[in-house]
A and B are shown apart, each in its own frame.
Chain A
Amino acid sequence: MSAIRSDAVSVIGLRKSFGAEVVLDGIDLAVPAGSIFALLGPNGAGKTTTVHILTTLLPADGGTVTIAGHDLADEPDAARRAIGVTGQFSAVDNLLTGEENLILMADLLHLDRAEGRRRAAELLERFDLVDAANRAPAGYSGGMRRKLDLAMTLIGDPQVIFLDEPTTGLDPRTRRMMWEAIRGLAASGVTIFLTTQYLEEADELADRIALLDQGRIVAEGTATELKRMIPGGHISVRFATPVALDAAAGVFTRAQRDDEALTLQIPADGGVGSLRAVLDGLDAVRVQPDELTVHSPDLDDVFLSLTGRPRAASEAPAKEPVR
């Protein structure tokens, strides 16, 4: 089947419960080979459980998972040979040095000694860890540990890499560095399956994003497609007088007006262009805004609109139905 052949990861009807608690309630995913896929969701949505099942750490209760053409139920070892995993908690040996950790991985992948050493040296270089190579990771910074962890994942040249919240807890600079590394990997043809809590991260990296909530996929698509579903992106403008509000409301017909607070909420994607359009619009009717705030869409907004959970009901007007 061509569909299975071209998908690096294919998940159909995946279910998992821990006791009475249903964690994954029948999820379907398809990740084309060579793409970056982000599973986006809040804590407790089931992201890590999904990664654990896809990486053979946990058995599924139901459904079919195929990784690089290998059904996990039938040939888990073949799937294991195709994947690399960097989990949420660092999986490095704290008593071995950075280099010894990499060589341990090379030995377990049955690379020959010279090849293992060469790959280790190459990865230490690539992740800027040469100076730390002979030290134990116990003394590394969080970012260095994460880099070593990723380097250990890469030593066997996996076809599919799973990254469970790869940048959680990292400082912005190291996060940027990880993003670069992930993009570099994808450019070399590796399939990346990552989980994240940050819409921004999914937006930066992923070709496709699936939104996981309470064990269900509530939306799936490209970043642009997904953001179109989000009502939260708007520019909020407050005026000094009702007259000014009236004048402005005449220009922005799609805006929501609040007469009591004298504000206008104008839908916008948060970019500079939309801000300029709002200011130009106000200029045209010669109205001075009293105060202006840009509200960028965030994960909360996505959730509000897609799960319909009333956390801030006034902020979540009914939107186009999902898919």
Chain B
Amino acid sequence: MTTMTHPLRDSRTMLRRNVRRMLRYPSLTVMLVGMPVVFLLLFVFVFGGTLGSGLGGPAAGLTGRAAYANYVVPGILLMTIAGAVQGTAISVAMDMTEGIVARFRTMSISRASVLTGHVIGSLIQVFVGLVTVTAVALAVGFRPDAGIGGWLGAIGLLILAGLAMIWLAVALGLKAKSVETASNTPMILLLLPFLSSGFVPTDSMPTALRWFAEYQPFTPVIETLRALLSGTPVGTTGLVAVVWCVVIAGAGYLWSRRLYERTGP
């Protein structure tokens, strides 16, 4: 035996454990992926006709439902991530209440591997959700106009936003005293896309709400995603979006590490 710890090997073991747990308990994944799909269909088919007409003139030559499908998809993609990280918070909290983590702590394994396993496992879950939602979106009339660069930028931004929300959810899961609390707290992440430019342009909102919507992090991320997918210039919003994601991911990471180190047996 060596005196070195094996962070990569331990993280891989923990990832394998988390993926296996997801497969063993698929109803959570199905629900978390299914929810944004339902919202997508609801917004495109039920509200889309009317909301699309209110967007203010034809966008890329499209009007009504077709224009709204293009408008709403970035918001729904962010909502997919926000939904998936509920699962992260729940599984982290379950781990902490179940005693197995106490066992891990008494073993000579990389301290970070428990959390890394959760984060990478969640990233896979987020990815599955995003692919599913995008596929359904394309089937119901989403017509992106992005080149290779736009797609790569969009994927990169989604991963970054994913990491930000996942690390935040890990911290919330560690902070939660029970699994129930852990499943409720990240709910705020699901509400925030509604209070952004995700579903309707912010200038249609009352002043106070508009102010909030314009400055909360979801708006620049959604605006950037929309620009990347529709092939329009991103501008400085892109930088704002990236900074928000990096700051939230970093803060979530540091908070999680601190909570994990401090959490008693």
Return A133 CB to nearest CB of chain B, in Å.
15
**Chain A 2-33 interface mask (CB, 8 Å, partner B; 1/0):** 00000000000000000000000000000000
B99 at interface, CB cutoff 8 A: yes
Which A56-82 residues have C-beta < 8 A from chain B? 56-58, 77-78, 80-81
B42 at interface, CB cutoff 8 A: no
Number of A-B contacts (CB under 8 A): 69
Report how far A55 CA is from B265 CA in the complex, Å: 10
Contacting residues, chain A, for B207 (C-beta < 8 A): none
Report how far A52 CA is from B265 CA in the complex, Å: 7
**Given the interface contacts A56-B105, A83-B106, A95-B25, does A89 sit within 8 Å of B3 by beta carbon?**
no
Nearest-neighbor residue (CB-CB) of B5 within chain A? A77
B55 at interface, CB cutoff 8 A: no
B107 at interface, CB cutoff 8 A: yes
Contacting residues, chain B, for A78 (C-beta < 8 A): 3, 108
* Cβ 8 A contact of A93, one of B21, B102, B107: B21
A134 at interface, CB cutoff 8 A: no
Q: Which stretch in A105-113, A208-216, A270-278 binds the other chain? A: A105-113
Report how far A1 CA is from B33 CA in the complex, Å: 62
Cβ of A96 and Cβ of B17 under 8 Å apart? yes
Contacting residues, chain B, for A80 (C-beta < 8 A): 106-108
Q: Which stretch in B6-14, B43-51, B129-137 binds the other chain? A: B6-14
**Given the interface contacts A92-B100, A110-B6, A152-B103, does A77 sit within 8 Å of B108 by beta carbon?**
yes
* Cβ 8 A contact of A100, one of B3, B20, B25, B109: B20
**Given the interface contacts A104-B13, A110-B9, does A95 sit within 8 Å of B108 by beta carbon?**
no
**Given the interface contacts A104-B13, A108-B10, does A81 sit within 8 Å of B265 by beta carbon?**
no
Chain A positions within 8 Å of B, measured between CB atoms, are 52, 55-58, 77-78, 80-81, 83, 85, 87, 89-96, 100, 104, 107-110, 136, 152, 156
Q: A91-B98, A91-B102 are in contact. List 16 more A-B contacts (CB 8 A).
A: A52-B264, A55-B106, A56-B105, A77-B5, A81-B1, A87-B99, A91-B100, A91-B103, A92-B100, A95-B21, A100-B20, A104-B17, A107-B9, A109-B107, A110-B6, A136-B24
Chain B positions within 8 Å of A, measured between CB atoms, are 1, 3, 5-6, 9-10, 13, 16-17, 20-21, 24-25, 98-100, 102-109, 264-265
